[in-house]
Amino acid sequence: VVALLSDAQVRAEDGYDLWLRHEPVGGAAGSELNGITVAGPDSFADAGAEAMVSVALAELRSGLAELAGGESPPAAPLSIRLSCTDADIARGGAFALDGDSTGLTLRAGEASGCLYGAFALLRLLDTGERLTKIHHAEAPAMPLRLLNHWDNPDGTVERGYAGSSIFDWWHLPDHLDRRMIDYARANASVGINGVVVNNVNASAMMLEPRYIARLARLADAWRPYGIRVYLTARFSAPRDIGGLDTADPIDPAVARWWQNKADEIYAAIPDFGGFLVKANSEGQPGPGDYGRTHAEGANMLASAIGARGTVFWRAFVYAAEDETDRASQAYREFAPLDGAFADNVIVQVKNGPIDFQPREPFHPLFGAMRHTRVALEAQITKEYLGFATHVAYLAPLWKEVLDAETGHGGTVASSIAPAGMAGVANIGTARNWSGSHFDQANWYAFGRLAWNPQLSSEEIAREWLMQTFSRDPAFVSDVSAMMLNSRELVVDYMTPLGLAHLMATGHHYGPGPWVCDLARPEWNPCYYHRADKDGIGFDRTASGTDALADYAPSVAAQWAEPETTDPRLLLWFHHVPWDWALPDGKRLWPTLVEHYDTGVAGVAEMQAMWAAQAGKVDPRRHGDVTDFLAIQAKEARWWRDASIAYWQSLNGLPLPAGSAPPE
């Protein structure tokens, strides 16, 4: 007999509700939320503010009712008062929550602060705070917190592992899928305030009037959630769809075309966020096609947009004809342009100098462009970390970069504070949005870190688990420990000791370190590991490509000598013999094998730990995770065995004692 579930149960067990489940808190904490009244301000700055505050009120009312559960209300019901134009609170999303014996006051400098304050209050209650005791104030650390969707107009998603695109261009603007509201709620709940809806490998079609009308419908739907829409701009659009025979940024006809295009978009979407551009990278058109610089290209678009919005110009560039180290190319191309970009241009830089690997050092452009706003681009979708199948909680990867000292006076986080963060979305039509339950945590963690990079990976994991799965303290402590360790395990079985880019060709799933015959040298894994019978690793010091010199002297000094380089980055910066002695006295080859073994053993531990949680989460989601962990275990093995066998084919070394032979 199959028991029929209610719609709410199905949604919850599919993972559709994400971290916004609001399970009843129970006991006295639940009781005091019962019968609570939520009162908004009487007047509003404008209709937009009123719409945003009504979202905050609606979220609070429904969220509080869910958290309250069936407890009996107190004799004198409590109240929550919203004041959304408080001159003492900064604008831009800041808020203060102050509980007292009668309930709680939420104060904000403008409507968006009430929106973020409402979600923060629900989060605090969800994670065990008592309403009347709350004293909590927050302000976002950076102004722009964007998702970048690599979604194509035909519904496919580049590097998407969660189904098709959630954007239903086919039925827009006449029909708005309800999912667009749930999506906006989830984003607003973690402070995401901008969405680039289409792929950086851009189709110029998205700039056509019919798509602008469709985008306007999304903009209208998301505005009350504080989300501005952005488009990627294909640099050749004046030629592709504009009837011009050039896209040269210096040509007045080209500048006029973009000016008219921007005006057309702003007429439909008055708060359009702006453009994101991938230019002269991996075959995309750009100003370089006409001998112009990135700054000339970006500034032409920036002047079309003017004070109305922002141009995000990506620094992810590397060229076949450039024989230098790929890790250096963006730095060499962009660092000299510091100061040349218009005020409303932000240079968007990937976290590391190559490409979203399981571990890379931070990108040398952070902190180096003193007169340019720089944003950090993170990849939430796990192109190089086992797609949506492997558990890999990415907050520790992003924290490693955000917390890094650039050597230019401050951390990466402080260097991007005037701009923001962009995360390549992991969202699709999968019922659970992200293709797996644990990948929801990466969407969540991205938003939380863009709001506040000081949060620890552990705090974020714990609050996500409590809202998503269970508040059981033992569950939260075991599973958060698993999450915190998970990315390092992926590093261990895929690319330990600073190795990188060893994934199979094209799809990047599974090992391919032996590949050496692709057309462009820097597409080949052998370009990155440089292994032969004598040694392994990429010499990026002065005796090699000298990419190390892109870093500030104090940072470069840490990585200059193989003896003193953090072993986690050893083979990124150095080529060493197979019997190289690491700081702990162990040799390189047995240490390398030990990492693969650690990765495999660690996944088995995750399986055992998760099996022990049966009964603490609903069987559906428990089973989904169990299945995926079994795949991960198999594939960690695959990575380990294939990698070791390949290195052995070069170095002829036996397996170190204690390491099991390949299966």
Residues that bind ligand GCW (CB under 6 A): 150, 158-159, 200-201, 278, 282, 316, 355-356, 383
Distance CA 526, CA 363 (A): 22
The nearer residue to ligand GCW, 318 or 538, going by C-beta atoms, is 318
Phi, psi of 313 (to 5 degrees): -115, 115
Contact (Cβ atoms closer than 8 angstroms) between residue 167 and residue 216: no
First and final C-alpha spacing in the chain: 41
* Dihedral sign computed on CA atoms, order 144, 145, 149, 153: negative
Closest Cα partner for 491 from 398, 382, 596? Answer: 596
Q: Which amino acid, 648?
A: Q
Distance between CA atoms of 410 and 24, rounded to whole angstroms?
43
Given 263, 282, 532, 605, the catalytic residue: 282
Closest distance of CB 379 from ligand GCW, Å? 7
Minimum CB separation from ligand GCW for residue 564, in Å?
31
DSSP run (H or E) holding 329: helix 326-334
Distance of alpha carbon 364 from alpha carbon 367, whole angstroms: 8
Q: Is 158 a catalytic residue?
A: no
Nearest alpha-carbon partner for 395 in 363, 438, 432: 438
Instruction: Determine whether 282 is an active site residue.
Output: yes
CA distance linking residue 148 with residue 257, whole number of Å: 25
Residue 84 has which token pair? 């959304």
Active site residue 355: yes
Rounded to the nearest whole angstrom, what is the least distance from the CB of residue 184 to ligand GCW in the complex? 24
- Residue number, nearest CB to ligand GCW: 355
The DSSP code sequence of 195-231 is EE-S-SS--GGGGSHHHHHHHHHHHHHHGGGT-EEEE
Identify the active-site residue in 86, 383, 463, 522.
383
Which residue, 261 or 278, has its beta carbon nearer to ligand GCW? 278
Least distance (Å) between residue 257 CB and ligand GCW: 24
CB of 316 vs ligand GCW, minimal distance in Å: 5
What's the min distance (Å) between Cβ of 281 and ligand GCW? 6
> Residue 352 has which token pair?
């590391």
Q: Which is nearer to ligand GCW, 352 or 453 (CB)?
A: 352
> Which residue(s) pair with 137 in the sheet?
96
Nearer to ligand GCW by Cβ, of 158 and 322: the residue is: 158
d(CA 498, CA 539): 12
Q: Which residue, 207 or 330, has its beta carbon nearer to ligand GCW? A: 330
Q: Which is nearer to ligand GCW, 70 or 506 (CB)?
A: 506
Active site residues: 282, 355, 383
